[in-house]
């Protein structure tokens, strides 16, 4: 089957791949050709290999498909990723930032971290694993330089606080942050909109200027994505 590739209009390093039936899917250019990370489809077009990016498995892909206008991830960026898990979204960010950028991946659970090491870090030079608790950002202060952007997707009740505490130490002034609000890790019964609003208020109180808040439905029922700039 033949495919057509087009660059995403607003996001450098992100592509649309269309099939003969006219179905378009999000993709990134594979920085480690031949290697899959989470069973994603690989498609070769004109000597380049693309990885289809699944919005049901990555909240960042869901946010892009929900048309978030100002995703602050660019080639060459230095990124701190909190809650890296086994590297599904990390790997696509790594494709986007390329080898001139780097990504520090904080994860507190040994099992996904092992998969991150063997499936992602082993094949990508600039993806650095950090086995640590994101609630204690002081502990990895010495391991990284200030970053351009923090992406926070931790399964913890205090998500806005975790992002803010990390920003104080690790984010450069004027840097950006994305927070995937996992509402059901915060409260299992309260209205989603109330939980989202509260987390956003906590960010505002900690020197974040909010650009966008978007629900990730239909890809992800109980989560929202916040895009912000850090003025701290
Ligand atoms: C929803 S998963 C992240 C999925 C991942 N961001 C992706 O899109 O591929 C949340 C992750 O947060 C991790 N986590 C939970 N509490 C944490 C903490 N205090 N510090 C670091 N990671 C934590 C969990 O182990 C889990 O891997």
Between CA 73 and CA 8 the distance in angstroms is 13
* CB 83 less than 6 A from any atom of ligand 1: yes
Test site for ligand 1: of 132, 151, 154, most ligand atoms within 8 A of the Cβ: 154
Encoded tokens for 56? 């049901």
Strand partners, 27: 15, 52
- Where on the phi/psi map is residue 11: left (φ > 0), alpha (ψ -120 to 50), or beta? beta
Q: Which residues contact 17 (CB under 8 A, 6 or more apart)?
A: 3, 4, 5, 24, 25, 26, 27, 43, 45, 50, 52
Terminal CA-CA length for the chain: 51
Nearest CA to ligand 1 atom 4: 85
E strands, the chain, in order: 4-7, 14-18, 24-29, 42-45, 48-52, 78-82, 102-107, 127-131, 147-152, 171-182, 208-215, 223-230
* Whole-number Å distance between alpha carbons of 117 and 114: 5
Q: What spacing in Å lies between the alpha carbon of 17 and ligand 1's midpoint?
A: 29
Signed CA dihedral, 122, 124, 130, 133: sign only: negative
Q: What is the pLDDT of residues 1-43, one digit of tens each?
A: 789 999 999 999 999 999 988 899 999 999 999 999 999 999 9
Give the least confident one: 88-97, 112-121, 184-193: 184-193
Give the pLDDT band (50/70/90) at residue 183.
Answer: confident
Does residue 106's CB lie within 6 angstroms of at least one atom of ligand 1? Answer: yes
Helices assigned H by DSSP within 105-171: 110-119, 159-170
Q: Is 69:212 a contact under the CB 8 Å cutoff?
A: yes
Tell me, what's the pLDDT at 71? 97
Segment 196-206 shows an average pLDDT of: 96
3-state secondary structure of 3: coil
Dist CA 40 CA 73 (whole Å): 21
156 lines ligand 1 (CB under 6 A): yes
Closest ligand 1 atom, CA of 38? Answer: 9
pLDDT of residue 2: 87
Number of separate helices (H) and strands (E) present in the chain: 6, 12
Question: In order of start, what are the domains of the chain with their CATH numbers?
Answer: 4-52 (3.30.200.20), 59-230 (3.40.50.150)
* Amino acid 22: pLDDT: 87
pLDDT given at position 148: 98
């Amino acid at each position: 089957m033949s495919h057509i590739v087009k660059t995403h209009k607003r996001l450098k390093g992100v592509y649309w791949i269309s099939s003969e039936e006219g179905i378009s899917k999000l993709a990134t250019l594979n920085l480690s050709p031949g290697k899959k990370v989470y069973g994603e489809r690989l498609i070769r077009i004109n000597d380049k290999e693309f990885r289809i990016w699944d919005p049901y498995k990555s909240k960042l892909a869901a946010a892009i498909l929900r048309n978030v206008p100002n995703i602050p991830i660019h080639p060459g960026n230095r990124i701190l990723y909190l809650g890296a898990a086994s590297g599904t979204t990390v790997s696509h960010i790594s494709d986007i930032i390329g080898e001139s950028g780097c990504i520090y991946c904080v994860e507190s659970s040994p099992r996904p971290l092992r998969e991150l090491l063997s499936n992602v870090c082993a094949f990508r030079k600039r993806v650095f694993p950090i086995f640590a608790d994101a609630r204690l950002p002081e502990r990895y202060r010495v391991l990284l330089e200030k970053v351009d952007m923090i992406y926070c997707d931790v399964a913890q009740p205090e998500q806005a606080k975790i992002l803010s505490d990390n920003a104080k130490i690790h984010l450069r002034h004027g840097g950006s942050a994305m927070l995937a609000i996992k509402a059901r890790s915060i409260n299992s019964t309260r209205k989603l909109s109330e939980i989202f609003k509260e987390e956003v208020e906590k960010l505002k109180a900690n020197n974040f200027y909010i650009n966008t808040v978007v629900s990730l439905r239909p890809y992800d029922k109980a989560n929202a994505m916040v895009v912000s700039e850090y003025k701290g």
